[in-house]
Structure 1
Amino acid sequence: MKICFATHNENKLREINQILSDFEIVGLDEMGCTEEIPETGATLEENSQIKADFVASNYNVSCFADDTGLEVEALKGAPGVYSARYAGDGRDNLSNINLLLKNLEPHSNKSARFRTVITLILKGEMYQFEGVVNGTIISELKGEKGFGYDPVFIPDGHNQTFAEMSANEKNKISHRGRAVAKLVEFLENQA
């Protein structure tokens, strides 16, 4: 089954292709969509739906979109829906991490969770799937793999950051991996 993943983010596309190896996944660039789809929603659910609706409506294809946020308990859920642009619109991972660590400095509670919401539009119907992984924010960057906040996030039950794990290790336990597993199960039942 060929399906569009509504993203320009090569890191996300690579990660999804590793997880969804039984499906032919194409990104927005392959679809000829060069524009940035605005993320104007107030929640992860709304943002993923906005992106999926845009692609389904403008390209007449089955597609899915995701939105992911890092929700830090001591920061009342921030950066949350603004995770990618926490330090400004430049989407600079290091600036986002540095601002997060600065804002978290006065707090002893370093608990956080990554949450991903996937919206699938298939044959004109909309479905949503959520994946969550709880963990802790550490104060120094560790690891060279991954992207976003991966170098400062250690998932519960592990002693490495996401950025220290192989892609395969991370995908087995990550928020996106968990949401995608629900998506895959749903798609396999549609066949």
Structure 2
Amino acid sequence: MTAGGGSGLQSAAPVRVVLASHNAHKLEELRRILGPLIPGVELIGYDGPEPVENGLSFEENALIKARAAAAHTGLPAIADDSGIAVDVLGGSPGIFSARWGGPARDDRANVDLLLWQLTDVADAHRAGSFVCAAALALPDGDEIAVRGVWEGRILREPRGAGGFGYDPVFQPTGETRSAAELTAAEKDAASHRTRAFTALAPEILARVV
């Protein structure tokens, strides 16, 4: 029976999945991206310990975070690891993107160092990509990671006030604007994170719901 004593059937409670991040902005972004793709799933925040990210790839680091959150909460968990990969630098900064400019993890320092390293690189050779690995880990040990890539090139100076990280110096292929000059909706529609989690959504539905 229902809590009120009637005989009507209650609707099923949503399945809860933890986002293994303390970043409230990322939680809201992924709710926007994943909400329409995973009906019946409630994405919740995480307040547990953060593991050491000592993987050698975006996928390994995303899985490390997802596993830790699943073990701590006993719930399915998703996580991502992302960064920028510059062709002429052999894919660097890559997994070290967040701390490229030093231990302070300062966005401006990261961008300044990258631009200095590319000072003498011709425009034709400044290709790069934003890369995101999205991972799902279940408490029973089942897990998967997928990758999304947003291709473009590195500008010679920052442009735009939106976004964060390397957005002001990244110009997506086919765009005249930097990622920092796109609206949030435009970025959500095209970004590496959107591509990765769109690919992960069917796995969430198949393995969790």
**In 1, Cα distance between equivalents of 2:176 and 2:206:** 36
Provide the residue aligned with 2:203 in structure 1. Answer: 186
Q: When the two structures are superposed, what TM-score results if normalisation uses the length of structure 1? A: 0.91
| Percentage of matched positions with identical amino acids | 37
Tell me by how many angstroms 1:144 deviates: 1.4
Which segments of 5 or more consecutive residues in structure 1 lack a partner in the other structure?
A: none
SS at match of 2:157: coil
**Are 1:148 and 2:161 matched, yes or no?**
no
Per-residue CA shift, 1:89-131, capped at 9, x if unaligned?
2111111000110111121211001111111013521011110
Task: Tell me the CA shift for residue 163 of structure 1.
Answer: 1.0
In the alignment, is the contact (CA less than 8 A) between 1:15 and 1:167 conserved in 2? no
State the Cα RMSD in Å: 1.5
Distance 1:161 1:14 in 2: 22
Partners of 2:59 and 2:146 within 8 A in 1: no
- Residue in 2 aligned with 1:117? 133
- 1:101 matched to 2:101? The reply is no
- Please give the alpha-carbon distance, in whole angstroms, between the structure 1 residues aligned to 2:206 and 2:51: 30
Structure 1 equivalent of residue 9 of structure 2:
none
The aligned residue for residue 144 of structure 2 is: 127
Matches within 5 A, 1:4-153: 4-22=18-36, 23-28=41-46, 32-33=47-48, 35-108=49-122, 109-122=125-138, 124=140, 125-153=142-170
- Measured after TM superposition, the shift of residue 36 of structure 1 is 3.3
Q: CA deviation at 1:41?
A: 1.0
Check if 1:168 corresponds to 2:192.
no
Query: Match of 1:119, as an amino acid?
Result: A
Task: State the secondary structure of the residue aligned to 1:146.
Answer: coil
Q: CA deviation at 1:10?
A: 2.9
Contact kept in structure 1, 2:50 and 2:65, CA below 8 Å: no
CA contact (8 A) 1:118 1:130 kept: yes
Q: Number of residue pairs matched? A: 187
- d(CA) in 2 for partners of 1:159 and 1:46? 34
Question: What is the CA–CA distance in structure 1 between the aligned matches of 2:115 and 2:22, rounded to whole Å?
Answer: 27
What secondary structure does 2:29 align onto?
A: helix
Q: Deviations over 1:22-67 (max 9, x none)?
A: 4422222xxx32x332211111111111111111112211101110
Secondary structure class of the residue paired with 2:146: strand
Please name the residue that 2:5 is paired with: none
For 2:149, give the aligned amino acid. V
Q: 1:159 aligns with which of 164, 169, 176?
A: 176
Measured in 1, the distance between the counterparts of 2:56 and 2:194 equals 23
SS of aligned partner of 2:153: strand
